[in-house]
Amino acid sequence: MTPSDPADPTDPAVRSGAAGPAATGRRSPVREALLDAAAEMLVERGYRGLRMRDAAEAAGVSRQTVYNEFGDKWGLAQAVVLRDNERYLDGIDRVLAEHDDLYAAVAAAVRFTLVTSADDPLKKVVLTGAGGDELLPLLTTQAEPVLFTASERIVEHALDRWPDLDREAFAEVVDAAVRLTMSHLILSDGPPERIAGFVARMVVRYLGLPEPDAHPS
């Protein structure tokens, strides 16, 4: 099969989306260019308008290169969402670093998530189903990669900052807090301040830590 040929659907690596650098998380200029092109197409056209051929052309590579990197269209869309999530988590790291108090840090992180996501064009495509609702599972039934990455990053950052926290208990409540915050992204249930306060209270109460005398409600 030459680089210009379409991917062989009988190839297990193609079917699983595990072909090439995508399987190892390795970053490359070509991969980044493809993700940039795909993200722009998803925002402009939705999932149904995303085409491997167009992404390849925009990045100046063969269509086979796209298949080698991502396996299929779903793998490409998932990689775009995961990269967007990584960038969001960089922002969460900054927010957590700005607070010495765990309650305030959690509340600020939840507020940041809700406000930032509301203004994120890619998140809007995923949540609103623009161009078809095919992407919504990336934040619902097939959200484990996003949820795992978010929980793991937050736990490690927070434990570096508050090393006396019980790792197992904190990991449990962070997973619950991330899932709860995600649910509010999908189905909003009030202003960000109120949701942030609720999630922060849940976290500190689960850990047996004192609540502040005054907190957003």
DSSP one-letter code for 100: S
pLDDT digits (tens, 9 = 90+) for 10-64: 333 333 333 333 333 456 899 999 999 999 999 888 888 899 999 999 999 999 9
Q: Tell me the one-letter amino acid at 43.
A: V
Mean of all residue pLDDT scores within the chain: 82
Task: Give pLDDT, residue 154.
Answer: 92
198 close to 159: Cβ distance less than 8 angstroms: no
Closest CA to 112 of 99, 125, 128: 99
Per-residue confidence band for 141, with pLDDT thresholds at 50, 70 and 90: low
What pLDDT shows up at residue 4? 35
Residues in contact with 51: Cβ distance below 8 Å, sequence separation at least 6, in sequence order? 41, 73
Q: Tell me the residue type at 137.
A: P
**CB contact at 8 A, 169 and 207:** yes
Q: Is 122 left (phi over 0), alpha (psi -120 to 50) or beta?
A: alpha
pTM check: above 0.85 = no
- Give me the sign of the Cα torsion angle 32, 152, 93, 191: positive
Residue 203 has pLDDT above 50, yes or no: yes
For position 142, what pLDDT does the model report? 67
Q: What percent of the chain has pLDDT over 90?
A: 52
By CB neighbour count within 10 A (0-12 exposed, 13-18 middle, 19+ buried), where does 25 fall? exposed
pLDDT band at 194 (very low <50, low <70, confident <90, very high): very high
The tokens for 30 are: 């070509």
**H/E run at residue 77:** helix 73-97
Least confident of 22-26, 48-52, 73-77, 163-167: 22-26
**CA separation for the pair 104, 121 (Å, rounded):** 28
pLDDT for 79 beyond 80: yes
**pLDDT reported for residue 183:** 86
